[in-house]
Amino acid sequence: MNLEDLKLKLKFLEDGDRVYKLDANINDFYVIKDNGWYGIGIDINLDKAEFFEKFENVRMITKIKYFSNKNHKLLELITNKECLIEEFSLVCFDFINKFDSEKVNENIIEKANEWWEEWKKLLGNVLKSERDYDFLGELLALNYVLNEDTKSTYSNLASHDIELPQYSIEVKTTTEKYSAEIHVNSQYQLENNTDMPLKLIFIRLEKSQTGYSISDVIESLKLKNYDVSNLNRLEKIGTSSINEKYRILEARLYNVDDKFPKITLNSLKNNELPKGIIKIEYIVDLDDIDYETINLNF
């Protein structure tokens, strides 16, 4: 398989859900088109683990497709930007060369993740992956409060991260070892529009092989019979981020009351933003504020 031949096959794919076998030395590669996404795929065993990583317009994902009278599990490298066919074909060509020198089905997922990380470093911020330790912190807090009240829920779209019948919780997570500053991203984040109290959980994490991953907390939530299908953010997180472990260095619980420093509409003149101001962001130093130390380990 040469680069020009691959470019032509990608460029002239017919519309619809298509799979075309490529000439390759050892492994089975295919040019694919699937609901507006196109690229290449390598045939792997059906029992291989699921894999999902994404940049803004590029994905590497495992998907089962039926063709040639049987099910195939493909590890796909795909994009939805047909205008970048020339550039994307170079990435596909490198992917094929990476995996076609030896039979790699035994450790295909591990090798795919290594290749993905190499390209991510090469392209820097052009293809940006999402920072996910803050989501881990929110899940750890949810797992903790479920021990207090099984009706606790994660708020996908609400102003605050977690809702209990008795109060709301905002969660802030950092990997800074010493600073206890939090970024409040709007005048609404530390404001509660109900009669219920608002609390803040501040979590300090450190990368560690002996810590917790998003996957670990999800399993704990399932054991508590929590419906994890409602955690919409999970759909946007890649395999490597889901399995990346962090150790809990510290967890603090604050009451966001009248003594807590904050800027809300209620603290502004006439309970409204000055004319011409549409949003307020600010930083709070938590070190001099009373808190309770809590244990999020499980």
Name the residue with higher pLDDT: 128 or 120: 120
User: Of 87, 108, 126, which residue is a domain's last?
Assistant: 126
| Least confidently predicted of 32-36, 69-73, 99-103, 114-118 | 99-103
DSSP string, 194-245: SSS-EEEEEEEEEEEEEEE-HHHHHHHHHHTT--GGG-GGGGG--HHHHH--
Query: Are 122 and 267 part of one and the same domain?
Result: no
Query: Are 213 and 146 part of one and the same domain?
Result: yes
Residue 208: domain span: 133-293
In a domain, 298, yes or no: no
User: Of 69, 95, 126, which residue is a domain's last?
Assistant: 126
Give the chain's domain count. 2
Name the β-bridge partners of 219.
none
Query: Are 119 and 175 part of one and the same domain?
Result: no
User: Of 97, 126, 155, which residue is a domain's last?
Assistant: 126
Query: Are 199 and 218 part of one and the same domain?
Result: yes
Query: Are 157 and 77 part of one and the same domain?
Result: no
| Confidence band, pLDDT 50/70/90 cuts, at residue 54 | confident
Start-to-end C-alpha separation, the chain: 51
Query: Are 62 and 206 part of one and the same domain?
Result: no
In a domain, 261, yes or no: yes
* Across 37-49, average pLDDT: 89
Query: Are 67 and 148 part of one and the same domain?
Result: no
Query: Are 165 and 109 part of one and the same domain?
Result: no
- pLDDT tens-digit series, residues 210-237: 999 999 999 999 999 999 998 988 887 8
What burial class does residue 3 get, using C-beta atoms within 10 Å of its C-beta: 0-12 exposed, 13-18 middle, 19+ buried? middle
Claim: this prediction has a pTM higher than 0.85: no
Query: Are 114 and 8 part of one and the same domain?
Result: yes
pLDDT, residue 205, reads 96
pLDDT surpassing 80 at residue 158: no
Query: Are 141 and 265 part of one and the same domain?
Result: yes
Query: Are 41 and 109 part of one and the same domain?
Result: yes
Name the residue with higher pLDDT: 84 or 78: 78
The rounded distance, in Å, linking the Cα atoms of 239 and 231 is 16
The rounded distance, in Å, linking the Cα atoms of 213 and 137 is 10
Query: Are 152 and 248 part of one and the same domain?
Result: yes
What burial class does residue 282 get, using C-beta atoms within 10 Å of its C-beta: 0-12 exposed, 13-18 middle, 19+ buried? middle
